[in-house]
Amino acid sequence: MSFREIAITVRAVNRASNEFNRIQTDAESLAVRVRTLGSAIAGIGAAGTAISYIANQFGILNDSQTRAFTSAMMVVSTMGLFMRTSAGVAVAQKVYATATALATAVQNSLNISFATFLALTGVGIAVIVAAAAAMYSFANSMNTATASVQSFNSTAAETPIRSRSITRGGETELYRRGVE
């Protein structure tokens, strides 16, 4: 093994190590945020339990309402405490990974839709260009025909009236039949 091969191996390990460190930092950051959120939720549950007790003491809530509200707040508090454990953090990370995978799938489908849109738009532009070329060709044909008629009219205008008034035998009968 040469020195160059060793240097390449060391660079590959270093690049991989940096990515692993970044992933570890992200995971630790997420764990801290989940634990902080768990603490806040547990605090809300505990505060809700205390509020329900005080509301019962002042007569705002009756005993059955207080029991229901206290039970709900204890569930909230338990969820917050669970989120502070390592198992709760692991569940939160799995939920986050699932949500990220779903968002990636949606983004990929949007990218495919956008690519399809671009492809169809390209075809649409090609159709518009082809229609414009056909219209240009038709306009050129019409211009040529118009120029031919104008040339005929100018030549006919220069022809003396006596030569234009010459008619073939039987034409007047055809003209008369067309009018009737």
Q: Determine the structural domain holding residue 147 and report its residue range.
A: 109-180
Task: Answer yes or no: is pLDDT of 180 > 80.
Answer: no
Residues 73, 22, single domain; the answer is yes
- Tell me: the pLDDT tens digits for 55-82? 999 989 899 999 999 999 999 999 888 8
Q: For the ranges 19-23, 34-38, 78-82, which has the lowest average pLDDT?
A: 19-23
pLDDT (tens digit per residue) in 75-115: 999 988 888 888 888 888 888 888 888 888 888 887 777 77
Residue 4 — pLDDT band, cuts 50, 70, 90? low
Phi-psi group of 170: left, alpha or beta (phi > 0 → left; psi -120 to 50 → alpha; rest → beta): left
Same domain? For 114 and 177 the reply is yes
**Is the CB of residue 49 less than 8 Å from the CB of residue 80?**
no
Residue 99 lies in a domain: no
Distance from C-alpha of 144 to C-alpha of 167, rounded to nearest angstrom:
30
3-state secondary structure of 42: helix
Exposed, middle or buried: residue 79 (CB in 10 Å: 0-12, 13-18, 19+)? middle
Structural domain includes residue 127:
yes
Asked if residue 52 and residue 113 are part of one domain, the reply reads: no
In a domain, 100, yes or no: no
In a domain, 101, yes or no: no
C-beta atoms surrounding 66 within 10 Å: 18
Q: What percent of the chain has pLDDT over 70?
A: 76
Same domain, 141 and 176: yes
Tell me if 176 is assigned to some domain: yes
Residues constituting the chain: 180
Look at residue 103 and tell me if it is in a domain: no
In a domain, 169, yes or no: yes
Specify whether 163 is located in the same domain as 119.
yes
Domains in the chain, number:
2
| 178 and 130 both lie in a single domain | yes
What is the per-residue pLDDT for 172? 65
- pLDDT greater than 80 at residue 156: no
User: Does residue 117 share a domain with residue 174?
Assistant: yes
Contacts of 103 (CB under 8 A, 6+ apart): none
